[in-house]
Amino acid sequence: MDVPPARLARWLDGFAERHGGPPEVAAEPDGLRLTAPDGTLAVLHPPPGAPGAEDLPGFLTGAEAPRRLGLLLARKGAVAVGVADGDQLVVSKVDSRYVQGRTAAGGWSQQRFARRRDNQAKAAAADGAELAVRLLLPEAGRLAAVVAGGDRRAVETILADRRLAPVAALRAERLLDVPEPRHTVLVDAISAARAVRVLVRDP
């Protein structure tokens, strides 16, 4: 589950109440492991760009701290690029280009449609790379992380542009599951990018 940083302290209180008391806390390479008295485990993964922590107070402080994040959402022919400062979107641009869907036709017709679709997808990726160069590249030195979302292949095609090497180096492992990128989707992605990812395992 994803928990907003502002609600994490309340979630931790509820976790302790549901599972027999305060958990034991241990640092792991990818976050904190909580072991409740009843054996339930919860692993807290810090949000992209947040520093690691050895204890819960440090984790909470790092998760809640405002960070400057780059956002790159891509799916089919639509791309949304933005910069968030804390929970506010301060720079953004959305672009879309028609990319033909798959066809059920066979033979030469299918091959022709496939080539056309491939060319359209490449053009959309080129447009996305230009947006990222304009909006994210100048910010690379100030970004804590770059969070991508949508179609993994589309995102990786955009970030393969050599000019975006400094941006690609900041990319977080998290890939947001988003619909076709629009401005409202980009705004909603800020919360998802800042959320603490929690994995709970029952005994």
Looking at the fold, whether 112 and 46 belong to one and the same domain comes out as no
Ranges 47-56, 75-84, 95-104, 190-199: which has the least confidence: 95-104
Looking at the fold, whether 131 and 141 belong to one and the same domain comes out as yes
Looking at the fold, whether 9 and 102 belong to one and the same domain comes out as no
Mean of the per-residue pLDDT values for the chain?
88
Q: What does the alpha-carbon distance between residue 62 and residue 127 come to, in Å, rounded to a whole number?
A: 35
Q: What is the CATH number of the domain that holds 106?
A: 3.30.420.60
Tell me the whole-structure pTM to 2 decimals: 0.84
Q: 57: domain range?
A: 2-66+196-201
Looking at the fold, whether 96 and 162 belong to one and the same domain comes out as yes
Looking at the fold, whether 47 and 93 belong to one and the same domain comes out as no
Q: How many domains does the structure of the chain reveal?
A: 2
pLDDT tens profile 69-119: 999 999 877 899 999 999 999 999 998 653 444 444 444 455 554 455 555
Looking at the fold, whether 172 and 79 belong to one and the same domain comes out as yes
Give the per-residue pLDDT at 104: 46
128, pLDDT greater than 50: yes
Give the per-residue pLDDT at 66: 93
Query: Do 200 and 7 form a contact (C-beta atoms < 8 A)?
Result: no
Strands (E) in the chain, as ranges, are 2-3, 24-28, 31-35, 41-45, 68-75, 78-85, 88-96, 145-150, 171-176, 196-201
Looking at the fold, whether 72 and 60 belong to one and the same domain comes out as no
pLDDT tens profile 134-180: 999 999 999 999 999 999 999 999 999 999 999 999 999 999 999 99
Looking at the fold, whether 72 and 49 belong to one and the same domain comes out as no
Looking at the fold, whether 21 and 89 belong to one and the same domain comes out as no
